[in-house]
Amino acid sequence: MGSGAELCRGFHDDVLAPLLAATPYAAGLLGAGSDVLRHDDERSTDHDWGPRATVFVAADDLQGTRADLDARLPATYDGHPLSMGRDGRLDRHHVEVTTLDDWLVAQLGLDPRRGMSVQDWLLVPQQRLLGTTAGPVFHDPSGELAGVRQLLAWYPDDMWWWLQACQWRRLAQEEPWVQRTHEIGDDLGSSVVAARLVREAKRLVLLQERTYAPYGKWLGTAFAPLGRRDGLETHLHGAVAAPHLLGREAALTAAYACLAVRHNEMTGDALDPSARRFHDRPATVLGADRFADGCLRRVDDPELRALPLIGSVDQFCDSTEILDDPAACRRLASVYGIPSPAGGRRPPSTGAEL
């Protein structure tokens, strides 16, 4: 099968562009969905997959364009129904017509064209930044949509270093638990902690590579091409698969060494990547706090330096109910000791990930 992105581009060029020829508009494949990330496969086609697009028009053209498309869109394109749904049930077409202003507030909880504060960057999940910047744009003659995507393409440098420091801190907090849980007879717990550390290592790599992390189902897919050059992916797999503590710790410390070398190559630091004892206990660790400190030394923004090292909203929270609701994310400003910012509200999300 071809990708959903290719199908949707053809749908725009063959169907939407002629229908919208008299209306100024922009359009793309944006927001939620494996097709936006180009991770879709045959399995993805069993729900909410097919010809679709988000179309941006001026507020004055909104109602007329919606009504016109509702009346004139075909029932199918390239053999795929526009009225896609789940489990064989048909729904209405998935051509969303909106204004860029409204879509940005629904997607992010704010309009970034008004400026992005520290708290704004912290309270937008990476998966939502990715859904705004990753999908293909089909038509954007004014360049307004491209401007928004460029603005959100990656974090400001101070924020980037601070988020890396927070991610290293997450590793530091649980490094010794792999041994300690085993020591008290909880080998299942040791395996679970190792798996948690593998997840945090993957997210750290994406940060190092300036790549927004998708939500959990696609985290490994996004990480894989970034983890192969130095054997990191193999070490992380070994940490999860190891049946005993010694193999688990050996794989993790090998993975930590890769992460440490990458940090040193990126920064010019000369931090020792070798494993060490956790104080006077028998746990083998990297001492990840050293690398958190190395990142913090590069943060100049006093507002960031004054914050607790808990990271952005999706570093300390992994609830779908929160991360898929921009208004709920905005309410978490109090976690940082920041008053909750004003933000756009929207009804609960109905956009299921493919």
Domain definitions of the chain by residue range: 4-98+126-151, 157-296
Mean pLDDT of the chain: 92
Q: How far apart are CA 237 and CA 252, in angstroms?
A: 9
Question: What CATH topology corresponds to 4-98+126-151?
Answer: Beta Polymerase; domain 2 (3.30.460)
pLDDT at residue 348, as a whole number = 34
- Is the pLDDT assigned to residue 101 strictly greater than 60? yes
Of the pLDDT bands very low, low, confident and very high (cuts 50, 70, 90), residue 85 is low
Of the pLDDT bands very low, low, confident and very high (cuts 50, 70, 90), residue 146 is very high
CA dihedral 148, 153, 156, 160 (to 10 degrees): 150
Query: Where is 103: in which H helix or E strand?
Result: helix 100-108
- Is the pLDDT assigned to residue 340 strictly greater than 70? no
Cα–Cα separations (whole angstroms), residue 200 to 93, 148, 174, 272, 284: 38, 29, 10, 20, 18
Other CB atoms within 10 Å distance of the CB of residue 111: 17
- Is the pLDDT assigned to residue 314 strictly greater than 90? yes
Q: For residue 218, count CB atoms less than 10 angstroms from its CB and return exposed for 0-12, middle for 13-18, buried for 19 or more.
A: middle
Q: How far apart are CA 166 and CA 292, in angstroms?
A: 7
